Amino acid sequence: MAEVKFTKTHEWVKIEGEIATVGITNHAQSELGDIVFVELPSAGDKVKSKEQLATIESTKAAAEVYAPISGEITEINSELSQNPQFINEDPYGKGWMVKIKIDNAGDIPEFMDEASYNNFIEKET
Amino acid sequence: MPYILNTPAQIKEILKELGLSSEEELFSQIPESIKIKEELFLPGGMSEKEVSSAVRRIGKQNRNLNEFNSFLGAGLYDHYIPSALKHIINRSEFYTAYTPYQPECSQGVLQAIYEYQSFICLLTGMDVTNASMYDGATSLAESVLMSLRITKKNRILIAKNVHPEYRDVLRTYIKYLDYKLIEVPYNKNGLLDTASLKELLDSDTASVVIQNPNFFGLIEDIPEIKSILKDINIKLIVVLNPLSLAILKKPSEYGADIVCADGQPLGGDMSFGGPTFGIIATKKEYVRQLPGRIVGRTKDLEGKDAFCLTLQAREQHIRRQNATSNICSNQSLNAIAAAVYLSLMGKDGLHKAAIYSLNNAHYLYNEMRKIKGVTLPFSNIFFNEFVWHIDSAKDAAEKLAKEGILAGVELHKFYPELSGCILSCCTEKKTKQDIDNFITALKNIAHE
Amino acid sequence: MNENLIFNKSVEERGTDFINSPLKDIKTPEHFIPKEMLRDKLKLPSLGELDVIRHYTKLSRLNFGVDTHFYPLGSCTMKYNPKINEDLAHMEDFTYLHPYQNENLIQGALAVIYELEKILSELTGMKRFTFQPSAGAHGEFAGMLIIKAFHTLNSNRRSKVLIPDSAHGTNPASAAMCGYKVEVIKSTKDGLVDTDELKSKVDAETAALMLTNPNTLGLFEERIMDISQILHKKGALLYYDGANFNPLMGIVKPRLMGFDVMHLNLHKTFSTPHGSGGPGAAAVGVSDNLVDFLPVPLVDKKENTYYFNYSLKHSIGKIKPFYGNFLVFVKAYSYLLRLGRNGLKRAAYNCVLNANYIRTKLKREFMPASDKMCMHEVVFSCAKQKERGASALDIAKRLIDFGIHPPTMYFPHIVREALMIEPTETESKETLDYFIDTMIKINEETKSDLRNIKEAPHNTPVRRPDEVRAARFPDLRWKEHGE
């Protein structure tokens, strides 16, 4: 089982072989509140690291989700269009957002592990 | 002092509570150097009676349309407004309320706007609309911005027979953004020149804007336009007169992506141009690109049906610089008035208002055709207004005005090439006598 | 839902005839228009006049308005809307006027615009005003376009606009609509613009700073003259968001604080009603050197005759068809005549007095966002109450049970659990005392009966509509059965 890693912009990423699965962190979903809408890219789209990947709306906020890594979208979680609350209920499971085929598997940016992410959000707030 | 309830004794009491000895101390945060020292050069205040006569006296310097037999239209129309409408709209529970952000205190406004949204969707056939825009022109500008966001392209084609002031406003809106606005000429029949449209279309084009009925009152050849636009990822934006939808095909049926209009024909006064309100409606897949407030139906704590503002993550108070628009205040009261108007008129009433206007305009047209010296340059397929030509139109219009007839809008100011042309409109309020009087007077002038 | 939708009240063949057939022979649309351009069915309800009157009268009674309830909604200036203004604006001499009538037939309308402009110029120190914008945000957009046009003419392609973190959301949105990047200026601990940060951010790319004064914390920006200097030194302009002008009427002129462009919300400061969300109107004023950039036309006067002046060299063009929300101007004009120079000053005094009274009486229970005296509105933080389990939202909702419209909540964003209270000058001490007592009572309840607050309001037509459901499953219009 691959380890879940974290970004400073509150995405999580799990890398298995050349595929990265991406979602938003538990902290991010709880800050946003009840999520009502998710706008995802389409399979086949190319995404660039640190550029906008998706948009999430709650009743009181809207947030951009950034791609943690460059590559091509191979799959999106189409369940989210009908059930955006999956991100609130199970951010690391049923709330996953996209799978990205990584462009350059040898060149993976550095992410935080759980402990350093927790540290990071504590400092941020 | 007018409208201030606190008495001198109460003011003293409050000052004491605040630990202040004078009202001036309330402003101690303001640097002395910038405070106004001298007396302002302003009127000294008036009693209500004096204000009443002063403003009435100014009003009398206008000559309102009761004094005339008017054929003015061109975007604002003199339709009959049922008395009941004003009695509802003048209820202060509607007009002294703020935006319905607090649903528990605003169910009436929210439901009325939900009903307004429903009416607009019924009329246009579109899936969704908002709680209103400022007016038809800014609705158009926002529709164009929507199309640019949806397609991520940068070129807009707009028919030259779209209302000139709407095109002006659109130009102002996009002046400093990196978009190209190109005008498509009209042909000798006053209709969108489809050959030019074909030529000007390219893959960078985000949207095509047409008006139907167009500014000249003419009904466009929609099937032809549609055939040119089919199979291309170009959004069709249609500006229209909402009353015309009582008889004309719904824009949803001919593939409109965004519909916009000024709502004034639906029970609004002309009011020297404002306030009216703007309609904007679209397909449901574009709902998150819509600007402005939207009312939705939901359930409350007890499971009761309830209304509230919704999809607010599009708006400026949440998304700030990334919002779909900066619009906050809109023209809610005018939109509610439109819902009341449509309820009062009903299916039959609205239909009658439309076909009476249609018949009156065509009667005027046919009578004009018989006048030597008057020509009718454009197509004869129109709704409630049309263009006619007479040499020295300015002169003719002035002479008619002296006889109490406002013939219409002279077009040379908007279209130099149409000098001598006048746009005249008939609503259901025109009687046969009104029209006959116009014709008689015009005959005399034309034959002079 | 407390009242069935109007569509469900339709009865086939019911209706009211409001107008007779104008011609003997009325032909069907097919006679004039090809069939393929006509619609087949028009689905609208059929109702009688009394049906409609009852329906909307019932709906009206489900609302709070200024005439029915205390409405201390911060930043919205919900003052009393004098009835004489309504009467005058609704005269046929104003409502039954077409904008394309010749100038000689509309001299009265032009006079209203001309005279209103004169008054606002004197009040603000600005040279000229346009009245085209329909609302505050529309005014901001016009004003920022003027700034853009000014810099562009000076071949000065400045790219960014500075906006304090306490600003109204419309400010950044309006700047963005002109193609500007928005940079946020942080507030200091005392709630004012941080001039050090401002200094470090103003550069050759800065087009303007948009500022509300008093700001959204209800505080006067004391260092305004420094702020003005910092910007002007670098060639940037200062934009005044006049949403909070009410306490400054007759006290300070924005032009003399260094502002170059400003807007006034006629529907806030000058007593025209909000109409459930609109129509409003914004007057945008500019300093001498920016007059040529205003939208066309302006109204001018020559030998006692008013006329439209289209000859502005660098005009940004039109921002609204015709001449603006004219009836709103008539209301504002009547109000200004009625109050006059002393009345306006009295209004400014009293709105500040009332806000500070609330601030002083509630500062033990609720935390003022600043230690300073406030101007026309006061912002409290309900952080203490939140610790006990009652949020700003809960407290706001509980106020409804006492017949008080909730204050603005969760704004400005820089204050946690914010309640923003603007009583306005037209409320009496008795009303303020009632509000203060109620707030104290609710604060007590946060200690003794939390559940009662969490479930508030108790006696309204609906209670806490589910906004999450509304957004997840949008139901935005009535649909016919089976559609």
Put simply, the answer to whether B312 touches A59 (Cβ < 8 Å) is: yes
Phi, psi angles (nearest 5°) of residue A77? -85, 90
Average pLDDT over chain B reads: 96
Confidence of residue B223 (pLDDT cuts 50, 70, 90): confident
Q: Which two tokens stand for residue B414?
A: 């908007």
Determine the CATH number of domain B83-341. Answer: 3.40.640.10
From the list B259, B277, B309, the residue with the least C-alpha distance to B146 is B259
* Best to test chain A binding among C411, C413, C467, C468 (most A CBs inside 10 Å): C468
List CB contacts (< 8 A) between B308 and chain A: none
Contacting residues for C276 by C-beta, under 8 A, at least 6 apart: B94, B95, B97, B98, B99, B100, B106, B109, B112, B113, B332, B333, B336, C63
Q: So what's the pLDDT on residue B447?
A: 83
Chains in touch with C (≥3 Cβ pairs < 8 A)? A, B
List CB contacts (< 8 A) between A88 and chain C: none
pLDDT at residue B5 is higher than 90: yes
Contact present, B284 and B127 (Cβ < 8 Å) = yes
pLDDT at residue B440 is higher than 60: yes
For C112, the 3-state DSSP assignment is helix
Distances (CA, A) of B418 to A30, B190, B409: 63, 11, 12
Confidence of residue B230 (pLDDT cuts 50, 70, 90): confident
b/e per residue B246-255 (b: at least 16 CB within 10 A): bbbbbbbebe
pLDDT at residue B391 is higher than 60: yes
How close C413 gets to chain B, by Cα (Å)?
A: 10
For B174, the 3-state DSSP assignment is helix
Put simply, the answer to whether B31 touches C225 (Cβ < 8 Å) is: yes
Note whether A31 contacts B: Cβ–Cβ < 8 A.
Answer: no
Domain count, chain A: 1
For B114, the 3-state DSSP assignment is helix
User: What percent of chain C shows pLDDT beyond 70?
Assistant: 100
Confidence of residue C191 (pLDDT cuts 50, 70, 90): very high
User: Which residues of chain B are at the A interface, by a Cβ-Cβ cutoff of 8 Å?
Assistant: 288, 312-314, 318-319, 322
How close B314 gets to chain A, by Cα (Å)?
A: 8
pLDDT at residue C225 is higher than 60: yes
List CB contacts (< 8 A) between C468 and chain A: 34, 36, 59
Cα B256 to Cα C384: distance, rounded to the nearest angstrom? 53
Domain ranges of chain B: 65-80+346-446, 83-341
Cα C249 to Cα C336: distance, rounded to the nearest angstrom? 11
Q: What is the pLDDT of residues B284-343, one digit of tens each?
A: 999 999 999 999 999 999 999 999 999 998 898 888 888 899 999 999 999 999 999 999
Under-50 pLDDT residues of chain A: none
User: What percent of chain B shows pLDDT beyond 70?
Assistant: 100
Cα C335 to Cα B4: distance, rounded to the nearest angstrom? 13
Note whether A62 contacts B: Cβ–Cβ < 8 A.
Answer: yes
Q: Where are the alpha helices (DSSP H) in B220-331?
A: 222-229, 316-319
Give me the residues paired with residue B69 across strands. Answer: B405
Put simply, the answer to whether C468 touches A57 (Cβ < 8 Å) is: no
Contact present, B297 and C477 (Cβ < 8 Å) = no
Put simply, the answer to whether C468 touches A84 (Cβ < 8 Å) is: no
When computed from its CA atoms, the radius of gyration of chain A, rounded to whole angstroms, is 14
Q: What is the pLDDT of residues C356-407, one digit of tens each?
A: 999 999 999 999 999 999 999 999 999 999 999 999 999 999 999 999 999 9
Cα B85 to Cα B172: distance, rounded to the nearest angstrom? 35
Distances (CA, A) of B191 to B156, B218, C302: 19, 7, 41
> DSSP character for A7?
-
The residue whose two tokens read 């935080």 is A112
User: Which residues of chain C are at the A interface, by a Cβ-Cβ cutoff of 8 Å?
Assistant: 410, 467-468, 471-472
List CB contacts (< 8 A) between C257 and chain B: 34
How large is the average pLDDT for residues B239-248? 98
Contacting residues for B370 by C-beta, under 8 A, at least 6 apart: none
How close B196 gets to chain C, by Cα (Å)?
A: 22
Cα B88 to Cα B109: distance, rounded to the nearest angstrom? 12
List CB contacts (< 8 A) between A37 and chain B: 288, 313
Put simply, the answer to whether B313 touches A58 (Cβ < 8 Å) is: yes
pLDDT at residue B54 is higher than 80: yes
Identity of the residue in C225, C320, C350 whose CB atom sits nearest the CB atom of B134? C320
Q: Choose the weakest-confidence range: B56-65, B228-237, C447-456.
A: B228-237
- Half-sphere exposure in the Cβ direction for C250 (13 Å, CA): 21
How close A57 gets to chain B, by Cα (Å)?
A: 6
Q: So what's the pLDDT on residue C345?
A: 97
- A34: closest chain C residue by CA: C468
Identity of the residue in C1, C279, C405 whose CB atom sits nearest the CB atom of B102? C405
User: Which residues of chain A are at the C interface, by a Cβ-Cβ cutoff of 8 Å?
Assistant: 34, 36-37, 57, 59-60, 84-85
pLDDT at residue C176 is higher than 60: yes
C-facing residues of B in 134-153 (CB < 8 A) are 134-138
Note whether B72 contacts C: Cβ–Cβ < 8 A.
Answer: yes
How large is the average pLDDT for residues C307-332? 97
Query: Full-prediction pTM beyond 0.90?
Result: yes
C416, amino acid identity: R
List CB contacts (< 8 A) between C274 and chain B: 95-99, 329
Confidence of residue C155 (pLDDT cuts 50, 70, 90): confident
User: β-pairing, B235-240 with B258-262?
Assistant: parallel
Note whether A57 contacts B: Cβ–Cβ < 8 A.
Answer: yes
Inter-chain Cβ pairs, chain A and chain C, closer than 8 A: 13
Put simply, the answer to whether B72 touches C26 (Cβ < 8 Å) is: no
Put simply, the answer to whether B44 touches C341 (Cβ < 8 Å) is: yes
Determine the CATH number of domain B65-80+346-446. Answer: 3.90.1150.10
Q: Which residues form the domain of A16?
A: 4-124
Q: In chain C, what are the domains? A: 6-60 (no CATH), 84-338 (3.40.640.10), 342-468 (3.90.1150.10)
Distances (CA, A) of B436 to B70, B217, C22: 13, 21, 12
CATH number at residue A84: 2.40.50.100
Give me the residues paired with residue A4 across strands. Answer: A14
Phi, psi angles (nearest 5°) of residue C474? -60, 125
Checking C18-22 for CB contacts under 8 A at 24+ apart, the result is C18/B80, C18/B82, C18/B344, C18/B345, C18/B349, C19/B80, C19/B352, C19/B353, C19/B356, C19/B428, C19/B429, C21/B352, C21/B356, C22/B356, C22/B359, C22/B360, C22/B428, C22/B429, C22/B430, C22/B431, C22/B432
How close C236 gets to chain A, by Cα (Å)?
A: 31
Q: What is the pLDDT of residues C250-299, one digit of tens each?
A: 999 999 999 999 999 999 999 999 999 999 999 999 999 999 999 999 99
How close B105 gets to chain A, by Cα (Å)?
A: 19
